[in-house]
Structure 1
Amino acid sequence: MRLTVNTVEETQTLAARLAKLVQPGDTILLNGDLGAGKTTFTQGLARALGIRRPLKSPTFTLVREYQTENFPLYHLDVYRLGEEGGGDELGLAEYFGGEGVALIEWSEFIQSELPQDVLIIDLSRLDQDETGLLRTISVRATGPRSEAILAALEK
Protein backbone atom coordinates (compact mmCIF):
# COMPACT_ATOMS: atom_id res chain seq x y z
CA MET A 1 0.00 0.00 0.00
CA ARG A 2 1.39 3.40 -0.95
CA LEU A 3 -0.19 6.82 -0.37
CA THR A 4 0.81 10.41 -1.02
CA VAL A 5 -0.35 12.86 1.65
CA ASN A 6 0.17 16.60 1.92
CA THR A 7 -1.27 17.54 5.29
CA VAL A 8 -0.87 16.56 8.91
CA GLU A 9 -4.56 15.67 8.92
CA GLU A 10 -4.17 13.15 6.08
CA THR A 11 -1.27 11.48 7.89
CA GLN A 12 -3.25 11.32 11.11
CA THR A 13 -6.34 10.00 9.31
CA LEU A 14 -4.35 6.98 8.15
CA ALA A 15 -3.06 6.53 11.70
CA ALA A 16 -6.64 6.69 13.02
CA ARG A 17 -7.69 3.99 10.55
CA LEU A 18 -4.84 1.83 11.82
CA ALA A 19 -5.86 2.46 15.43
CA LYS A 20 -9.19 0.71 14.76
CA LEU A 21 -7.32 -2.42 13.65
CA VAL A 22 -4.49 -2.91 16.14
CA GLN A 23 -4.72 -5.25 19.08
CA PRO A 24 -2.45 -6.45 21.87
CA GLY A 25 0.65 -8.18 20.56
CA ASP A 26 0.94 -6.09 17.38
CA THR A 27 4.26 -4.46 16.51
CA ILE A 28 4.45 -1.47 14.17
CA LEU A 29 7.70 -0.10 12.80
CA LEU A 30 7.87 3.56 11.75
CA ASN A 31 10.75 4.27 9.38
CA GLY A 32 11.81 7.60 7.96
CA ASP A 33 14.34 10.38 8.22
CA LEU A 34 14.04 13.23 10.68
CA GLY A 35 10.99 15.30 9.77
CA ALA A 36 9.37 12.53 7.73
CA GLY A 37 6.24 12.45 9.90
CA LYS A 38 6.83 9.65 12.41
CA THR A 39 5.77 11.75 15.40
CA THR A 40 2.77 13.14 13.50
CA PHE A 41 1.68 9.59 12.68
CA THR A 42 2.19 8.45 16.28
CA GLN A 43 0.16 11.39 17.62
CA GLY A 44 -2.73 10.49 15.30
CA LEU A 45 -2.64 6.85 16.34
CA ALA A 46 -2.53 7.71 20.05
CA ARG A 47 -5.38 10.21 19.77
CA ALA A 48 -7.53 7.67 17.91
CA LEU A 49 -6.81 5.13 20.66
CA GLY A 50 -8.23 7.57 23.20
CA ILE A 51 -4.96 8.88 24.63
CA ARG A 52 -5.61 12.49 25.57
CA ARG A 53 -2.38 13.52 27.25
CA PRO A 54 0.33 15.10 25.09
CA LEU A 55 2.53 12.60 23.32
CA LYS A 56 6.23 13.19 23.99
CA SER A 57 9.04 11.65 22.02
CA PRO A 58 10.79 8.89 23.96
CA THR A 59 14.14 9.79 22.39
CA PHE A 60 15.87 10.23 25.74
CA THR A 61 13.93 7.60 27.68
CA LEU A 62 13.71 4.99 24.88
CA VAL A 63 10.15 3.93 25.87
CA ARG A 64 7.01 5.79 26.86
CA GLU A 65 3.93 3.85 27.89
CA TYR A 66 0.39 5.14 27.39
CA GLN A 67 -2.76 3.38 28.55
CA THR A 68 -5.69 3.09 26.12
CA GLU A 69 -9.09 1.79 27.20
CA ASN A 70 -8.10 -1.75 26.29
CA PHE A 71 -4.31 -2.09 26.28
CA PRO A 72 -1.04 -0.23 26.72
CA LEU A 73 0.65 1.51 23.80
CA TYR A 74 4.43 1.25 23.99
CA HIS A 75 6.11 4.03 22.02
CA LEU A 76 9.78 3.22 21.51
CA ASP A 77 12.37 5.49 19.92
CA VAL A 78 15.65 3.59 19.74
CA TYR A 79 17.62 6.19 17.77
CA ARG A 80 20.00 6.78 20.68
CA LEU A 81 21.05 3.12 20.63
CA GLY A 82 22.79 3.88 17.33
CA GLU A 83 24.21 1.30 15.04
CA GLU A 84 25.60 -0.72 17.95
CA GLY A 85 22.06 -1.75 18.90
CA GLY A 86 21.90 -2.91 22.47
CA GLY A 87 18.18 -3.61 22.74
CA ASP A 88 18.85 -7.14 23.97
CA GLU A 89 20.70 -5.86 27.04
CA LEU A 90 17.88 -3.40 27.76
CA GLY A 91 15.09 -5.98 27.59
CA LEU A 92 13.18 -4.22 24.81
CA ALA A 93 11.91 -7.53 23.43
CA GLU A 94 9.50 -7.81 26.37
CA TYR A 95 7.45 -5.04 24.75
CA PHE A 96 6.80 -7.17 21.65
CA GLY A 97 4.01 -9.71 21.29
CA GLY A 98 2.58 -9.15 24.76
CA GLU A 99 -0.35 -7.32 26.28
CA GLY A 100 0.22 -4.05 24.44
CA VAL A 101 0.86 -2.59 21.00
CA ALA A 102 4.48 -1.63 20.30
CA LEU A 103 5.19 1.31 17.99
CA ILE A 104 8.91 1.61 17.22
CA GLU A 105 10.83 4.48 15.62
CA TRP A 106 14.32 3.82 14.20
CA SER A 107 13.82 0.05 14.40
CA GLU A 108 16.84 -0.59 12.17
CA PHE A 109 18.97 -0.26 15.31
CA ILE A 110 17.33 -3.29 16.98
CA GLN A 111 16.58 -5.57 14.01
CA SER A 112 17.75 -8.73 15.79
CA GLU A 113 15.33 -8.07 18.67
CA LEU A 114 12.18 -7.60 16.58
CA PRO A 115 9.45 -10.20 16.11
CA GLN A 116 9.05 -11.69 12.63
CA ASP A 117 5.47 -10.50 12.14
CA VAL A 118 5.46 -6.70 12.00
CA LEU A 119 3.68 -3.94 10.14
CA ILE A 120 6.22 -1.62 8.52
CA ILE A 121 5.31 1.98 7.77
CA ASP A 122 7.83 3.94 5.72
CA LEU A 123 7.39 7.71 5.66
CA SER A 124 9.35 10.00 3.35
CA ARG A 125 9.26 13.67 2.52
CA LEU A 126 8.79 14.48 -1.14
CA ASP A 127 8.51 18.24 -1.41
CA GLN A 128 6.87 21.34 -0.06
CA ASP A 129 4.21 23.03 -2.18
CA GLU A 130 1.51 25.63 -1.68
CA THR A 131 -0.84 23.09 -0.08
CA GLY A 132 1.63 21.66 2.41
CA LEU A 133 4.43 19.17 2.80
CA LEU A 134 4.11 16.24 0.42
CA ARG A 135 4.92 12.86 1.90
CA THR A 136 4.66 9.29 0.79
CA ILE A 137 3.56 6.61 3.20
CA SER A 138 4.19 2.99 2.29
CA VAL A 139 2.84 0.14 4.39
CA ARG A 140 4.12 -3.45 4.23
CA ALA A 141 3.51 -6.61 6.22
CA THR A 142 5.85 -9.46 7.17
CA GLY A 143 3.53 -12.13 8.55
CA PRO A 144 -0.06 -13.32 8.90
CA ARG A 145 -1.22 -10.87 11.57
CA SER A 146 0.34 -7.82 9.90
CA GLU A 147 -0.98 -8.99 6.50
CA ALA A 148 -4.51 -9.04 7.96
CA ILE A 149 -4.07 -5.48 9.25
CA LEU A 150 -2.73 -4.34 5.87
CA ALA A 151 -5.62 -5.98 4.00
CA ALA A 152 -8.12 -4.19 6.25
CA LEU A 153 -6.29 -0.87 5.79
CA GLU A 154 -6.47 -1.22 2.02
CA LYS A 155 -10.28 -1.52 2.05
Structure 2
Amino acid sequence: MTKNSNELLINNEQAMVCLGKLLAEASQGEGIIFLHGDLGAGKTTFCRGVLTAFGHKGAVKSPTYTLVEPYHVNGQTIYHFDLYRLGDPEELEFIGGRDYFDQKSLCLVEWPSKGKGALPQADMEITLNYNLPGRTALLYAVTDYGQQLVTATVAAYIQQQGD
Protein backbone atom coordinates (compact mmCIF):
# COMPACT_ATOMS: atom_id res chain seq x y z
CA MET A 1 0.00 0.00 0.00
CA THR A 2 1.12 3.54 -0.67
CA LYS A 3 0.89 6.40 1.79
CA ASN A 4 -2.28 7.45 -0.01
CA SER A 5 -4.25 4.30 0.82
CA ASN A 6 -5.57 2.42 3.81
CA GLU A 7 -7.38 -0.90 3.99
CA LEU A 8 -10.05 -1.56 6.58
CA LEU A 9 -11.88 -4.72 7.56
CA ILE A 10 -15.65 -4.23 7.41
CA ASN A 11 -17.24 -6.98 9.48
CA ASN A 12 -20.92 -6.45 8.68
CA GLU A 13 -23.57 -4.17 7.19
CA GLN A 14 -23.62 -1.97 10.28
CA ALA A 15 -19.87 -1.36 9.96
CA MET A 16 -20.30 -0.46 6.25
CA VAL A 17 -23.00 2.07 7.14
CA CYS A 18 -20.71 3.42 9.87
CA LEU A 19 -17.88 3.88 7.36
CA GLY A 20 -20.23 5.86 5.11
CA LYS A 21 -21.33 8.06 8.02
CA LEU A 22 -17.74 8.78 8.98
CA LEU A 23 -16.82 9.74 5.43
CA ALA A 24 -19.83 12.07 5.33
CA GLU A 25 -18.67 13.77 8.52
CA ALA A 26 -15.14 14.18 7.15
CA SER A 27 -16.38 15.50 3.79
CA GLN A 28 -18.72 18.17 5.12
CA GLY A 29 -20.80 17.62 1.98
CA GLU A 30 -18.16 18.16 -0.70
CA GLY A 31 -16.06 15.96 -2.93
CA ILE A 32 -16.08 13.28 -5.58
CA ILE A 33 -15.91 9.68 -4.39
CA PHE A 34 -15.59 6.73 -6.77
CA LEU A 35 -16.88 3.38 -5.48
CA HIS A 36 -15.52 0.17 -6.99
CA GLY A 37 -16.53 -3.42 -6.25
CA ASP A 38 -18.45 -6.37 -7.55
CA LEU A 39 -22.24 -6.56 -7.44
CA GLY A 40 -23.32 -6.90 -3.83
CA ALA A 41 -20.01 -5.72 -2.38
CA GLY A 42 -21.69 -2.95 -0.36
CA LYS A 43 -21.42 0.20 -2.48
CA THR A 44 -25.05 1.20 -2.00
CA THR A 45 -24.94 0.28 1.69
CA PHE A 46 -21.97 2.63 2.04
CA CYS A 47 -23.99 5.36 0.26
CA ARG A 48 -26.87 4.78 2.68
CA GLY A 49 -24.46 5.50 5.54
CA VAL A 50 -23.38 8.75 3.91
CA LEU A 51 -26.95 9.90 3.33
CA THR A 52 -28.05 8.89 6.83
CA ALA A 53 -25.28 11.04 8.29
CA PHE A 54 -26.75 14.08 6.54
CA GLY A 55 -30.21 13.30 7.93
CA HIS A 56 -31.87 11.38 5.08
CA LYS A 57 -34.65 9.24 6.54
CA GLY A 58 -35.97 7.32 3.52
CA ALA A 59 -34.77 4.31 1.62
CA VAL A 60 -31.57 4.46 -0.41
CA LYS A 61 -31.51 2.30 -3.47
CA SER A 62 -29.06 2.23 -6.30
CA PRO A 63 -30.15 4.46 -9.20
CA THR A 64 -29.30 1.78 -11.75
CA TYR A 65 -31.88 2.85 -14.32
CA THR A 66 -31.96 6.61 -13.73
CA LEU A 67 -28.13 6.82 -13.45
CA VAL A 68 -28.29 9.52 -10.77
CA GLU A 69 -30.42 10.20 -7.72
CA PRO A 70 -30.14 13.68 -6.19
CA TYR A 71 -30.66 14.14 -2.46
CA HIS A 72 -31.14 17.56 -0.88
CA VAL A 73 -30.85 17.05 2.86
CA ASN A 74 -30.40 19.70 5.55
CA GLY A 75 -28.78 22.19 3.20
CA GLN A 76 -26.49 19.60 1.59
CA THR A 77 -26.66 18.24 -1.94
CA ILE A 78 -25.54 14.67 -2.51
CA TYR A 79 -25.64 12.98 -5.91
CA HIS A 80 -25.65 9.18 -5.96
CA PHE A 81 -24.63 7.81 -9.35
CA ASP A 82 -24.82 4.21 -10.50
CA LEU A 83 -23.24 3.87 -13.93
CA TYR A 84 -23.55 0.08 -14.18
CA ARG A 85 -25.98 0.25 -17.11
CA LEU A 86 -24.25 3.13 -18.88
CA GLY A 87 -23.72 2.05 -22.48
CA ASP A 88 -21.33 4.83 -23.44
CA PRO A 89 -19.67 7.54 -21.33
CA GLU A 90 -21.24 10.15 -23.66
CA GLU A 91 -24.61 9.30 -22.09
CA LEU A 92 -23.50 11.30 -19.07
CA GLU A 93 -23.57 14.41 -21.26
CA PHE A 94 -27.20 13.73 -22.16
CA ILE A 95 -28.23 13.85 -18.51
CA GLY A 96 -26.18 16.98 -17.81
CA GLY A 97 -23.38 15.10 -16.08
CA ARG A 98 -20.99 18.04 -15.83
CA ASP A 99 -23.54 20.07 -13.87
CA TYR A 100 -23.53 17.58 -11.00
CA PHE A 101 -19.82 17.81 -10.26
CA ASP A 102 -19.47 21.22 -8.68
CA GLN A 103 -17.66 22.16 -5.48
CA LYS A 104 -20.87 22.58 -3.50
CA SER A 105 -21.95 18.93 -3.57
CA LEU A 106 -20.86 15.43 -2.67
CA CYS A 107 -20.88 13.00 -5.59
CA LEU A 108 -20.86 9.26 -4.91
CA VAL A 109 -20.19 7.34 -8.11
CA GLU A 110 -20.72 3.58 -8.33
CA TRP A 111 -19.12 1.84 -11.33
CA PRO A 112 -17.02 4.88 -12.39
CA SER A 113 -15.12 2.79 -14.96
CA LYS A 114 -18.27 2.89 -17.13
CA GLY A 115 -17.99 6.68 -17.33
CA LYS A 116 -14.26 6.81 -17.99
CA GLY A 117 -13.33 9.91 -19.95
CA ALA A 118 -16.58 11.72 -19.10
CA LEU A 119 -16.06 11.97 -15.34
CA PRO A 120 -13.88 14.47 -13.51
CA GLN A 121 -11.03 13.25 -11.34
CA ALA A 122 -12.12 11.71 -8.04
CA ASP A 123 -10.86 13.05 -4.73
CA MET A 124 -10.97 9.57 -3.27
CA GLU A 125 -11.61 6.05 -4.52
CA ILE A 126 -12.97 3.20 -2.42
CA THR A 127 -12.69 -0.41 -3.52
CA LEU A 128 -14.88 -2.91 -1.69
CA ASN A 129 -13.94 -6.58 -1.84
CA TYR A 130 -15.43 -9.71 -0.35
CA ASN A 131 -13.64 -10.98 2.74
CA LEU A 132 -16.28 -13.37 4.04
CA PRO A 133 -18.13 -13.03 6.24
CA GLY A 134 -17.40 -9.31 5.77
CA ARG A 135 -15.66 -7.04 3.32
CA THR A 136 -12.48 -5.05 2.99
CA ALA A 137 -12.51 -1.41 2.02
CA LEU A 138 -9.45 0.08 0.37
CA LEU A 139 -9.60 3.87 0.66
CA TYR A 140 -7.31 5.59 -1.82
CA ALA A 141 -6.59 9.33 -1.96
CA VAL A 142 -6.27 10.85 -5.42
CA THR A 143 -6.08 14.55 -4.45
CA ASP A 144 -4.81 16.42 -1.41
CA TYR A 145 -8.41 16.85 -0.30
CA GLY A 146 -8.89 13.12 -0.79
CA GLN A 147 -5.92 12.50 1.50
CA GLN A 148 -7.64 14.57 4.18
CA LEU A 149 -10.78 12.47 3.71
CA VAL A 150 -8.89 9.16 3.91
CA THR A 151 -6.94 10.21 6.99
CA ALA A 152 -9.98 11.51 8.88
CA THR A 153 -12.27 8.64 7.88
CA VAL A 154 -9.76 5.90 8.73
CA ALA A 155 -8.87 7.43 12.09
CA ALA A 156 -12.54 7.84 13.06
CA TYR A 157 -13.39 4.31 11.87
CA ILE A 158 -10.57 2.73 13.88
CA GLN A 159 -11.61 4.68 16.96
CA GLN A 160 -15.30 3.80 16.47
CA GLN A 161 -14.63 0.10 15.98
CA GLY A 162 -12.31 0.04 18.98
CA ASP A 163 -15.04 1.35 21.32
Q: Same fold (TM over 0.5)?
A: yes
Aligned AA for 2:89? Answer: G
CA contact (8 A) 1:25 1:96 kept: no
The Cα shift of 1:24 comes to: 4.5
CA contact (8 A) 2:54 2:76 kept: no
- Secondary structure (helix, strand or coil) at the match of 2:103 reads coil
1:25–1:134 distance in 2 versus 1, CA, 3 Å:
closer
Q: Of the candidates 107, 110, 115, which is equivalent to residue 115 of structure 2?
A: 110
- Are 1:44 and 2:49 counterparts? yes
- Secondary structure (helix, strand or coil) at the match of 1:58 reads coil
In structure 1, stretches of 5+ residues that fail to align are 128-132
Aligned AA for 1:124? Answer: N
In structure 2, stretches of 5+ residues that fail to align are 1-5, 156-163
- Secondary structure (helix, strand or coil) at the match of 2:58 reads coil
* Residue equivalent to 1:85: 89
CA contact (8 A) 1:23 1:100 kept: no
TM-score (norm 2): 0.84
Aligned AA for 2:138? Answer: S
* Residue equivalent to 2:160: none
Deviates more, 1:94-103 or 1:11-20: 94-103
The Cα shift of 1:73 comes to: 0.7
Tell me the matched-pair count: 149
- Are 1:139 and 2:139 counterparts? yes
In structure 1, how many angstroms separate the alpha carbons of the residues matched to 2:79 and 2:47?
Answer: 11
* Residue equivalent to 2:61: 56
Aligned AA for 2:56? Answer: I
The Cα shift of 1:100 comes to: 1.3
- Secondary structure (helix, strand or coil) at the match of 1:73 reads strand
CA RMSD of aligned residues (A): 1.5
The Cα shift of 1:97 comes to: 2.6
* Residue equivalent to 1:99: 104
1:25–1:97 distance in 2 versus 1, CA, 3 Å:
farther
Q: How big is each residue's C-alpha offset from its partner over 1:45-99, in whole Å with a ceiling of 9 and x where there is no partner?
A: 11111111111221011111111213111001111114x3222343212211332
Which consecutive aligned stretches of 4+ in structure 1 deviate over 3 angstroms post-superposition?
A: none
The Cα shift of 1:38 comes to: 0.6
* Residue equivalent to 2:79: 74
- Are 1:122 and 2:133 counterparts? no
In structure 2, how many angstroms separate the alpha carbons of the residues matched to 1:76 and 1:117?
Answer: 13
- Secondary structure (helix, strand or coil) at the match of 2:44 reads helix
